[in-house]
Amino acid sequence: MTFDAFDAWWWPYLFILVGGWLATDAWRFLGVYLGGRLRDDTDALVLVRALATALVAAVIGNLIVFPSGALAAAPLALRLLSAAAGFGAYLLVRKSVVVGILTAEAVLIAGLYAIGFNGG
């Protein structure tokens, strides 16, 4: 039952519908149903947010440590340095996401040129 388990054209779309659409819109619809009957700062919601944040952070960690495509050929040390530089710049410059992204990309691109990166 993995994404490429079946050779039918519709299987990936069904996978996206059930694994993606249903798994997100169910929560949105529940939100409409509950209307204004839920407070935002209850303890249960703190736990829920923590679980969701850790899950997304786990994906981020994997995308940096075990990336795919051309990024996989870049040295791990450079990937970590780029991410750390971007995050550091973000913290230093008024928590600006733009500054964080630009810094990380600048460090990565400069580093790749410095080592004569050709994707191999």
Query: 51 is written with which tokens?
Result: 């679980």
Smallest separation (angstroms) from other proteins to the CB of 77: 14
Q: At what angle do helices 43-65 and 76-92 cross, to 10 degrees?
A: 140
Smallest separation (angstroms) from other proteins to the CB of 46: 5
* CB neighbourhood size of 74 (10 A): 17
Smallest separation (angstroms) from other proteins to the CB of 57: 3
Nearer to other proteins by Cβ, of 7 and 12: the residue is 12
Q: What count of residues does the chain have? A: 120
Nearer to other proteins by Cβ, of 7 and 118: the residue is 118
